[in-house]
Structure 1
Amino acid sequence: MPVPISPFDRLRSLIGDTPAGAPVIDLSVGVPKHAPPDFILPVLAASADGYRPYPAITGTPAFQAAIHDWLDRRYALDGWFRDVGAVLPLAGSREGLVLSVVTARDLLAKDNPVVLHANPYYQAYLGAAHMIGAEAVGVPTPPTGSPLPDFSAIPDATLDRAIAYYFGSPSNPAGLTASKADWHNLFDLAEKHDFFLFADECYSEIYREEAGPPAGALEAARERPEALKRLIVLNSLSKRSNLAGMRIGFVAGDREVMKAMTTMRNQIASQVPVPLQQAAIACYQDEAHVAENRRLYDAKFAAADAILGPVFGGPVTPPGGFCLWLPVADDIAFVKALWAEAGVRALPGSLLATGEGAANPGRGRIRLAVVSPYDEACEGFRRIAALMQREGAVRELAAG
Structure 2
Amino acid sequence: MGFHAYSSPYDWGRIAGYKATAKAVPGGMIDLSVGSPVDTVPASVQAALAGAADAPNAYGYPVTAGSADLKAAIDDWFREARGVDLKAINAGVVPTVGSKEAVALMASLLHLGAGDVVVQPRISYPTYEIGTQLAGATVLKVDDVADVDSWVNVPNVKAIWVNSPSNPTGDVISSDWLADIVAAARRIGAVVLSDECYALVSWQNNGAAAPCALGPQVCEGSADNILVLYSLSKQSNMAGYRTALIAGDYRLVAEMAEYRKQIGQIIPGPVQAAMAAGLRDTASVREQWNRYRNRLTQLVAALQAYGYEAHMPAGALYVWVKAKSGDCWEDMAQLAELGIIPSPGEFYGAPAFLRFSATATDEAIASACERLRN
Paired residue secondary structure (2:60): coil
Output the CA distance in 1 between the equivalents of 2:212 and 2:280: 19
Which residue of 1 is the match for residue 335 of structure 2? 338
Paired residue secondary structure (2:233): helix
Q: Is the 8 A contact 1:11 1:347 kept in 2?
A: no
Q: 1:257-336 alignment to 2 at 5 Å?
A: 257-312=252-307, 316-328=311-323, 329-336=326-333
From 19, 27, 38, the counterpart of 2:43: 38
Deviation per CA, 1:33-66: give whole Å up to 9, x if none.
1211012222112111132111121111111111
CA RMSD of aligned residues (A): 2.4
Deviation per CA, 1:290-310: give whole Å up to 9, x if none.
000010011112212332234
Output the CA distance in 1 between the equivalents of 2:243 and 2:189: 30
Task: Output the amino acid matched with 2:14.
Answer: L
Distance 1:252 1:312, change over 3 A: same
Distance 1:151 1:62, change over 3 A: same
Distance 1:273 1:19, change over 3 A: closer
Q: 1:1-400 alignment to 2 at 5 Å?
A: 2-5=5-8, 7-9=10-12, 11-12=14-15, 15=18, 18=21, 20-22=23-25, 23-49=28-54, 50-77=57-84, 79=85, 81=87, 84-105=90-111, 112-141=115-144, 148=145, 150=147, 152-153=149-150, 156=153, 159-208=154-203, 210-220=206-216, 224-226=220-222, 228-312=223-307, 316-328=311-323, 329-339=326-336, 341-353=337-349, 362-386=350-374
Paired residue secondary structure (1:30): coil
Distance 1:149 1:222, change over 3 A: closer
Aligned length: 364
Paired residue secondary structure (2:33): coil
Q: Is the 8 A contact 2:22 2:338 kept in 1?
A: no
Q: Which runs of 5+ in 2 are unaligned?
A: none
Task: Output the amino acid matched with 1:86.
Answer: G
Output the CA distance in 2 between the equivalents of 1:230 and 1:241: 29
Q: What TM-score do the two structures reach when normalised by structure 1? A: 0.84
Paired residue secondary structure (1:178): coil
Q: Please say which of residues 313-322 and 38-47 is displaced more in the overlay.
A: 313-322
Q: Is the 8 A contact 1:305 1:316 kept in 2?
A: yes
Distance 1:242 1:135, change over 3 A: same
Q: CA deviation at 1:223?
A: 5.1
Q: Please say which of residues 261-270 and 59-68 is displaced more in the overlay.
A: 261-270
Q: Is the 8 A contact 1:350 1:365 kept in 2?
A: yes
Distance 1:235 1:69, change over 3 A: same
Distance 1:19 1:284, change over 3 A: closer
Task: Output the amino acid matched with 2:189.
Answer: D
Q: CA deviation at 1:333?
A: 0.6
Distance 1:114 1:280, change over 3 A: same
Distance 1:82 1:279, change over 3 A: farther
Task: Output the amino acid matched with 2:362.
Answer: Y
State percent identity of aligned pairs.
25
Q: Is the 8 A contact 2:126 2:347 kept in 1?
A: no
Output the CA distance in 1 between the equivalents of 2:248 and 2:271: 22
Q: Is the 8 A contact 2:297 2:312 kept in 1?
A: yes
Q: Which runs of 5+ in 1 are unaligned?
A: 142-147, 354-361, 387-400
Distance 1:127 1:223, change over 3 A: closer
Paired residue secondary structure (1:198): strand
Q: CA deviation at 1:255?
A: 1.4
Q: What TM-score do the two structures reach when normalised by structure 2? A: 0.89
Q: Is the 8 A contact 1:68 1:82 kept in 2?
A: no
Q: CA deviation at 1:68?
A: 0.7
Q: CA deviation at 1:127?
A: 1.9
Distance 1:130 1:221, change over 3 A: farther
Which residue of 2 is the match for residue 389 of structure 1? none
Task: Output the amino acid matched with 1:383.
Answer: R
Output the CA distance in 2 between the equivalents of 1:131 and 1:373: 36
Task: Output the amino acid matched with 1:298.
Answer: R
Higher helix share: 1
Distance 1:84 1:270, change over 3 A: same
